[in-house]
Structure 1
Amino acid sequence: MHGASRNIADFYRKTGVSSAALGEDPHRLISLMLDGACKRIRLARACMERRDIPGKGKAIADACAIVSHLNASLDHQQGGDIAGRLSDLYSYAMRRLTEANMHNDGAALDEVSGLLEEIAGAWNAIPQSARDQPRQTPVPA
């Protein structure tokens, strides 16, 4: 997980999501990324309402980049079916964000924001004791 944590922290530094992320634990980094994606989507919605097309495009592109990075950082070996379902959901979110950008579809932005907020709520509800447990690696037979 340290490699994934470093990649997430590097991504944060490049996109400016949060400079505080560099010293955060992996669970907190994912939480910050989900929050950052939701903030970008809200910004895109505001830009759409102001008819700020370049601002809308940048905010949606930033949200897509964050969601793409979340998708790429999934551990399918450890996460199994849940990781697969999250990957499908993240892919769907990126498609809907692209459609929102192309068609000025505020409902699509709201839909994706709601999905990401639901994921964030579940992620943040993981008890601290479960976060602190070392990850189990399969023992070869």
Structure 2
Amino acid sequence: MANPYATQQQAYQNNTVNTASPGELTLMLYNGCLKFIKLAKKDIEDKSYEQKNINIQKAQRIIQELMLTLKPENQISDQMMPLYDFMNRRLMEANVHNDILALDEVFDLVTEFRDTWKEVIRQSRLQQFGQGGNA
């Protein structure tokens, strides 16, 4: 028998993703990547290497998805792609060598990207909806 709470939570998550703007979806990807990196770090500390592999691969898939969403016509894409590629390679290295420092390095970069993205969303909302006074 299905857990009613789990079913309700899944429905909420699906609704959140289905109604999110592209900017909010990108923010969700960054947050998910950070979550999986944290889990992988704990897995290494706990010597749970199979689970570490799963979590690092999830983080890698998110980075790869972020790479796919870059628009070549945007100048920033030329700067972002090498950084995403670097993060993806560092995640591979962390997975092969159980390298917590590599995970920390990627975690810090993703955190910077996420925080910058949050600010972009905030600024966009201010421009879209205004402040109701002088900006």
If you compute each CA radius of gyration, which structure gives the higher value, 1 or 2? Answer: 2
Identity %: 30
Q: Which residue of 2 aligns with 1:104?
A: 98
Q: Which residue of 1 aligns with 2:87?
A: 93
**Structure 1 residue 130: Cα displacement:** 7.1
Q: Do residues 41 (structure 1) and 37 (structure 2) align?
A: yes
Q: Aligned equivalents of 1:74 and 1:104: distance in 2?
A: 29
- Change in CA separation of 1:88 and 1:129 when aligned onto 2, cut-off 3 Å: same
- Structure 2 counterpart of 1:43, one-letter code: L
Q: Aligned equivalents of 2:30 and 2:79: distance in 1?
A: 16
Q: For the aligned residues, what is the CA RMSD?
A: 1.6
Q: Do residues 123 (structure 1) and 113 (structure 2) align?
A: no
Q: Aligned equivalents of 1:32 and 1:91: distance in 2?
A: 19
Q: Aligned equivalents of 2:61 and 2:127: distance in 1?
A: 26
Q: Which residue of 2 aligns with 1:71?
A: 67
**1:41-93 Cα shifts (integer Å, max 9, x gaps):** 0000000000001100000000000000000110111x21x111111100000
Q: Aligned equivalents of 1:27 and 1:131: distance in 2?
A: 15
**Structure 1 residue 131: Cα displacement:** 7.4
**1:4-44 Cα shifts (integer Å, max 9, x gaps):** xxxxxxxxxxxxxx532121000000000000001000000
Q: Aligned equivalents of 1:54 and 1:116: distance in 2?
A: 23
Q: Aligned equivalents of 1:83 and 1:32: distance in 2?
A: 19
Q: Aligned equivalents of 2:85 and 2:127: distance in 1?
A: 26
Q: Normalised by the size of structure 2, how large is the TM-score? A: 0.80
Q: Which residue of 1 aligns with 2:18?
A: 22
The unaligned stretches of length 5 or more in structure 2 are 1-12, 130-135
- Change in CA separation of 1:132 and 1:105 when aligned onto 2, cut-off 3 Å: same
How many aligned positions are there? 114
